[in-house]
């Protein structure tokens, strides 16, 4: 089983639509969770961190369910510029400092259409 799993998509949605991505992780000791966005042939860029209480940044809402080991990202009112690959990222490895690093899911591709 992969450590971080995502639906690869692609998700093809019209402008203005609401779209949700899900991600599951296998390591119950994972501590930190993030969503990154990656445009074609570019580097990953941090979209938002994910907290147990959930967090919102404009049109983007992230949720974490530790009991189910599940992370979600909701995008409201999709824009053409939201077209990208969205990467779910969790910490992995053992618990002592320096032995943890980010592990990426395979990414979910979003294509917003006019």
Partner 1 sequence: DTEVTQTPKHLVMGMTNKKSLKCEQHMGHRAMYWYKQKAKKPPELMFVYSYEKLSINESVPSRFSPECPNSSLLNLHLHALQPEDSALYLCASSQGGADTEAFFGQGTRLTVV
- Helix residue ranges per DSSP H, 1-114: none
β 33-38/108-113 pair status: unpaired
Among 53, 68, 81, 97, binds partner 1 (CB under 8 A): 97
27 touching partner 1, by CB under 8 A = no
Shortest CA distance to 7 belongs to which of 108, 82, 88?
108
In sign, the C-alpha dihedral spanning 22, 90, 63, 82 is: negative
| Stated length of the chain | 114
| Minimum separation from the CB atom of position 59 to partner 1 (A) | 20
Residues 6 or more apart in contact with residue 97 via CB below 8 angstroms: none
| Minimum separation from the CB atom of position 34 to partner 1 (A) | 6
Please list every residue from 74 through 93 that binds partner 1, using CB under 8 A.
87, 91, 93
Shortest CA distance to 36 belongs to which of 95, 93, 111, 106?
106
Among 1, 14, 28, 43, binds partner 1 (CB under 8 A): 43
Q: Which stretch binds partner 1 (CB under 8 A): 18-26, 57-65, 66-74, 95-103?
A: 95-103
Using the minimum distance from each CB to partner 1, give the nearer residue, 63 or 86.
Answer: 86
Q: What residues line the site for partner 1 (CB under 8 A)?
A: 31-32, 34, 41-46, 49, 87, 91, 93, 97-107
């Amino acid at each position: 089983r992969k450590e971080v799993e995502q639906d690869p998509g692609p998700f093809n949605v019209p402008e203005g639509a609401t779209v949700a991505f899900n991600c599951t992780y296998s390591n119950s000791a994972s501590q930190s969770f993030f969503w990154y966005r990656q445009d074609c042939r570019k580097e990953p860029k941090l979209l938002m961190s994910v907290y147990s209480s959930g967090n919102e940044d404009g049109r983007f809402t992230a949720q974490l369910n530790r009991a189910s080991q599940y992370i979600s990202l909701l995008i409201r009112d999709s824009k053409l510029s939201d077209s990208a690959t969205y990467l779910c990222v969790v910490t992995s490895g053992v618990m002592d400092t320096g032995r943890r690093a980010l592990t990426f899911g395979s990414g979910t591709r979003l294509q917003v259409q006019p």
